[in-house]
Copies of this chain bind each other. A is one copy, B any other.
Amino acid sequence: MSTLTGLLQKMESRHSIFEEAVRQLPLPVCPAFGDGATLRAISFAPGERVLRTKDSDSVAKSFPKSVQASGNAVLAAAGANPNVSQGKRVAVLFSGGPAAGGHNVVCGLKRILGQGNTLFGVKPGPKGLIKGNLFEITGADVDGIANTGGFDFLGTDRTKIKTPEQFQQVKETCIKHNLDAIVIVGGDDSNTNAAVLAEYLFSGVKADGSGVQVIGVPKTIDGDLQVGDLLPISFGFDTATKIYAEMIGNILQDTRSSLKYWHFIKLMGRSASHVTLEAALQTRPAVTLISEEVAEKKQSLASIVDQIARSVIERAAKGVTHGVVLVPEGLIEFIPEMNALIAELNDVLAHHADAFAASSADERIGFVAARLTAANAALFASLPDHVVKMLLADRDSHGNLQVSLIPTERMLADMVKVRVGQLDAKVPFGAHCHFFGYEGRCGAPTLFDAAYTYNLGLTAGALILDGRTGYMAAVNKLDAGGQPLAIPLTGLLNIERRHGQDEFVIEKALVKMDSPAMQFFMARREAWSADDLFSSPGPRQLWGAAAQQMPISVALNSGAESLTFKIG
């Protein structure tokens, strides 16, 4: 074997030169946890902030133990903990889609728990907790995963713990493994689940009548888990948006090099448009759609298409026959008329299932169109063929269309082509489409996400050692050293009607029209459309002058004076 082939084999299984290098990066700690050389666990004390939602009274009835204990007051760090628990057995799991930095949460947990306590990993996700699939995490394990991307150390899944049998199974796992605490790393649904589990396991789990603590950690690349200044952003958002922004920047550079294409880029992020807004702020493309604005202005699909087509034409008048359009994943569900059309289509297909099935492929579109109201029929007729076919495709078991499967970016590109032709047939228009999603969930964390998640892990561990349950670990003041705190989960719960019954939910944070980030975007977008003012944020750097940037939207919304984060 040559020197080089030997080296290449050593690089297999997560030992690339990059992966080896990031493992050696320092992990900064918030001042509350000490100077970094030795970690200190901290205690927490309630401050003046008490959280309420419209449903707080109902929540208090359903979560009596949790609410009585916390009073829904936010906990702040209160100095070194003089009474650190020892001998605690703590389990950690990932829930839902992966996000960069999850591994550092585990590192932070392991290190703050120290030698005196035991940390277990649950494989995979809530399903692993139900099944009781736990293993002890060693110091070598966490050295191996520090600063690496993905959730692959533990795996993840999307099981929602909701049936009495599932709750009972979780309790049995706790008893079997003699657990004292569970840390759930997840998004809004997972943290809701953490709140329910915290109440369920509050007391009476073990023989001595004690309970099992449950702490949530705020994860989601979508950025829709935010609690004002208490939780400026969920982890994973920074890395995902920087990955997407690099690719968008590269494509913008390509449009101005090749001089002939428009690129329509759909970005992951489910309902909220935080990811798309951040990517726009990073790259300044010609057109960016924000779902929340579409809903607020009750925009029709035609008006959205028209808006893009006019940008195409105005730029072409200056000789600029290229551009980029950013499209948030959830756009369609924010267009009121599309919801109306899809609802009526679901009805028509349900009521005429047999006749529809008996029609030939050539007849089906006409069959359905004839049974729609005039407004819906007109909208239906305006859609590209491939979208029409999807709208007539098989429904799920509830008779609903999987709206998320509609290729919004392709639909818009096709409709813009038609519209540009109507407005000015001489304007050239060629389009490419992209969907950036999976690429952004499991990249190695940015220094921001790496430091943030390590300190979220430290905070979650410190909460456990301080005997707390039913809180979400948080770190705010991310440009001023970082300040650990704890958000009472019950203080975030609302009640929503879903599938015909009341459910507790943490409301998804949507982009606010009056937020500084949205206001800045709205103030600049016309200039970005009029001319190529884009920039390329480049690949995220872990070393050097470009490595210390926080998300632009977070910096704007938190009133920061620069993009430089400071944790530790």
Which A positions have Cβ atoms within 8 angstroms of B?
2-5, 7-9, 11-19, 21-22, 24, 94, 97-98, 124, 148-152, 155-157, 243, 246-247, 249-251, 253-254, 256-259, 263, 281-282, 284, 360-362, 432, 434, 438-444, 520, 524, 528, 532-547, 549, 552, 555-556, 560-563
User: Which single residue of chain B is at the shortest CB-CB distance from A437?
Assistant: B432
Q: A97-B258, A124-B259, A549-B17 are in contact. Are A8 and B281 (CB under 8 A)?
A: yes
Complex Cα distance, B21 from A9, in Å, reads: 34
> Chain B residues near A545 (CB, 8 Å)?
17, 21, 24, 543
Complex Cα–Cα for A441 and B441 (A)? 23
A156 touches B257 (CB 8 A): yes
A442 touches B13 (CB 8 A): no
Smallest Cβ-Cβ distance to A17: which chain B residue = B546
A527: nearest chain-B partner, CB-CB: B12
A450 to chain B, nearest CB (A): 12
A4 contacts which of B98, B155, B156, B560 (Cβ < 8 Å)? B560
Separation of A534 and B563 alpha carbons in the complex (Å)? 34
Find A152's partner among B22, B257, B547, B549 (CB 8 Å cutoff).
Answer: B257
Question: In the docked arrangement, what's the CA distance between A7 and B281, Å?
Answer: 12
Pair A254/B150 contact, Cβ less than 8 Å: yes
**A435, closest chain B residue (CB):** B434
Contact between B251 and A8 (Cβ–Cβ < 8 Å)?
no
Kindly state the separation between the CA atoms of A284 and B251 in the bound complex, as whole angstroms. 26
Residues of B within 8 A of A11 (CB): 535
Known: A256-B152, A257-B151, A258-B97. A539 touches B4 (CB 8 A): no
| B438–A263 touching, CB < 8 Å | yes
Q: Is the CB–CB distance between B535 and A13 below 8 Å? A: yes
Q: A360-B360, A544-B544 are in contact. Are A16 and B536 (CB under 8 A)?
A: yes
Shortest distance between the CB of A267 and any CB in chain B (Å): 13
Hey, which chain B residues are within 8 Å of A8, CB to CB?
Answer: 281, 520, 552, 556
Query: Which residues of the other chain, B, contact A14 by a CB distance below 8 angstroms?
Result: 534-536
**Complex contact A19–B443 (CB within 8 A):** no
In angstroms, how far is the closest chain B Cβ from the Cβ of A3?
A: 5
Give min CB distance, A560 to chain B, whole Å.
6
By a CB distance below 8 angstroms, the chain B residues around A361 are 361-362
Q: How far is the CB of A545 from chain B (nearest CB, A)?
A: 4
Known: A18-B541, A542-B544. A254 touches B561 (CB 8 A): no
In the complex formed, the residue of B with least CB distance to A537 is B16
With a CB–CB cut-off of 8 A, which chain B residues contact A444?
536, 538-539
Judge whether A257 and B4 touch: CB under 8 Å: no
Q: Which of B13, B150, B528 contacts A257 (CB 8 A)?
A: B150
Cβ-closest chain B residue relative to A14: B535
Q: How far is the CA of A324 from the CA of B360 in the complex (A)?
A: 38
Chain B residues, CB < 8 A from A362? 360-362
**C-alpha spacing A7/B22, complex, angstroms:** 29
A98 surroundings in chain B (CB, below 8 A) = 253-254, 257-258
Are B542 and A541 in contact, CB atoms less than 8 angstroms apart? yes
Selected from B3, B97, B442, the residue in CB contact (under 8 A) with A250 is: B442
Cβ contact within 8 Å between A15 and B535: yes
Chain B residues near A442 (CB, 8 Å)?
250-251, 253-254, 257
Q: Which residues of B contact A7 (CB under 8 A)?
A: 562-563
Interface centre among A94, A251, A442, A533 (most CB of B within 10 A): A442
- Which residue of chain B lies nearest to A282 when distances are taken between CB atoms in the complex? B16
Scoring A11, A250, A440, A537 by chain B CB atoms within 10 A of each residue's CB, the highest score goes to: A250
Taking a contact as CB atoms under 8 Å apart, the answer to whether A150 and B256 are in contact is yes
Closest B residue to A154 using CB positions = B257
Q: Is B256 a contact partner of A155 (Cβ separation < 8 A)?
A: yes
Known: A444-B539, A524-B9, A543-B541. A253 touches B152 (CB 8 A): yes
Q: List 6 A-B contacts (CB under 8 A).
A: A16-B538, A18-B541, A21-B544, A150-B253, A247-B247, A541-B544
Q: In the assembly, what is the distance between CA of A124 and CA of B255, in Å?
A: 13
For the complex, what is the distance from the CA of A13 to the CA of B284, rounded to whole Å? Answer: 9
Q: Which residues of B contact A9 (CB under 8 A)?
A: 524
B151, B243, B250, B284: the one within 8 Å of A149 (CB): B250
- CB A410 to nearest CB in B, in angstroms, measures 12
Q: How long is the Cα–Cα vector from A436 to B533 in the complex, in angstroms?
A: 25
> Which 10 pairs, one residue from A and one from B, show the smallest C-beta to C-beta distance?
A543-B544, A18-B538, A150-B253, A539-B539, A151-B257, A253-B442, A152-B256, A254-B442, A98-B257, A16-B535
- How many Å from the CB of A100 to the closest CB on chain B? 9
A555 to B556, CA, bound (A): 45
Q: Which residue of B lies closest to A151 (CB)?
A: B257
Q: Which residues of chain B come closer than 8 Å to A562, judged between CB atoms? A: 3-4, 7
- Enumerate chain B residues within 8 angstroms of A16, measured Cβ to Cβ: 249, 282, 535-538, 546
Q: Choose among B5, B243, B438, B537 the residue that contacts A432 (Cβ–Cβ < 8 A).
A: B438
Which of chain B's residues has its CB closest to A158's CB?
B258
Q: Please, how many angstroms separate the alpha-carbon atoms of A539 and B447 in the complex?
A: 13
- In the complex, which residue of chain B has the Cβ closest to the Cβ of A259? B155
- Bound: A547/B259 CA distance, A: 31
Asked whether A534 lies within 8 Å of B13 as measured between CB atoms, the reply is: yes
* A149 and B443 form a contact (CB under 8 A): no
A318 to chain B, nearest CB (A): 15
Given contacts A15-B535, A156-B259, A249-B443, list 12 more A-B pairs with CB under 8 A. A12-B528, A13-B532, A14-B534, A16-B546, A18-B537, A22-B538, A98-B257, A155-B257, A155-B259, A253-B443, A443-B539, A444-B539
